[in-house]
Amino acid sequence: VQLQASGGGLVQAGGSLRLSCGASGLPFSTYVLGWFRQTPGKEREFVAGVSWVGRRTLYADSVKGRFTISRDNAKNTVYLQMNSLKPEDTAVYYCGATHGMSRSPDAMEIWGEGTQVTVSS
């Protein structure tokens, strides 16, 4: 069972990035997927979540209107489109999988390795 995040990088403020998280070894469509982020010395925080077939989404207030989460169950992949990026979006971004919609990192059953996003001012 594995989640692998990719797509991070360095971008200027106002720019865009798209993160991807591919899954292997699990029945992908039975899991709710989430994106979280973490900066040094801080707890991991919820960014966005998407339900099993993508009909329901949740967002942190700080990213609402700028980020869009989506999933492609045929490709076992969840995406996070990040637009209008701000320096405060700089963090390591992680994808997580669980069986119920939740904003809590503690609810995630499976974690992928993170991908670094750096937004310069």
Which whole number is the average pLDDT over 34-45?
A: 97
Write the CB contacts of 117 (distance below 8 Å, at least 6 apart in sequence).
Answer: 8, 9, 11, 17, 19, 37, 82, 85, 89, 90, 91, 92, 93
Quick one: pLDDT at residue 66?
98
82-120: per-residue pLDDT in tens? 999 999 999 999 999 999 999 999 999 999 999 999 999
C-alpha triplet 43, 86, 13: angle, nearest 5°: 140
Check: CB of residue 14 under 8 Å from CB of residue 89: no
102: how many CB neighbours lie within 10 A of its CB?
16
Is 90 exceeded by the pLDDT of residue 1? no
**Coil, strand or helix at 12:** strand
